[in-house]
Amino acid sequence: MQLASRRVYTGRVVRLDVDTVRFPDGSTGELEIIRHPGAAAIVPCLSDPRTSDDPTILLIRQFRYAAGGPLWEVPAGTLDPGEEPEACARRELLEEAGVTAERLERLTSIFTTPGFTDEVIHLYLATGLTTGAPSRERDEFIEVVPQPLSRVLARIRDGEIRDAKSIVAILYMSRFVLRT
């Protein structure tokens, strides 16, 4: 239970608070927590995963400063104030991958790192894709690379895909959406 909160930093995306909390055993302490508005991530499939033996996924290879270079990811982005997760998913899909989706299906929602942030990412599957025009932000350096799911799963297994939201979204889709 939160007893008090002190804002330490406010940035473009995150805020850092130091909260005084009461723990389950009745003791109290201070915890640092990064407040995040939430995000949406999308697995864009060029072919319907329910009818294709090996659907093609649009992965992006994006430069990530914190990771020290490029990462394989699914398109994703932060919710704007008051924005619904599905609207964010559609916006980010166009901005980063340059496609729109006829169908967007919610997969699940995940906490990214609940030890120090309240960030929740809402995961979606996008099908019925139509090419549009990407409109990337100034700090986004992205290459869109279509790949068959079998190759993407091998990249996860081999440690080439290390982005947690992407791994969860792809594995969730491959286990719970694909035809069996």
Give the start-to-end residue ranges of the domains of the chain. 2-34, 37-176
76-97: pLDDT as tens digits: 999 999 999 999 999 999 999 9
Is a pLDDT exceeding 70 seen at residue 50?
yes
User: 69-78, 131-140, 143-152 — which is least confidently predicted?
Assistant: 131-140
119 is catalytic: no
According to CATH, the topology of domain 37-176 is Nucleoside Triphosphate Pyrophosphohydrolase (3.90.79)
Residue of 83, 86, 105, 140 marked catalytic: 140
140-174: pLDDT as tens digits: 888 999 999 999 999 999 999 999 999 999 999 99
10-47: pLDDT as tens digits: 999 999 999 999 999 999 999 999 999 999 999 999 98
The reported pLDDT for the residue numbered 180 is 47
The upper half-sphere exposure of residue 15, i.e. CA atoms within 13 Å in the direction of its Cβ, equals 12
The reported pLDDT for the residue numbered 179 is 61
pTM (predicted TM-score): 0.93
Distances (CA, A) of 116 to 4, 13, 67, 68: 16, 15, 18, 21
Distances (CA, A) of 28 to 23, 24, 34, 115, 168: 6, 9, 19, 17, 34
Instruction: Give me the helices (H) in the chain, please.
Output: 85-92, 149-157, 164-176
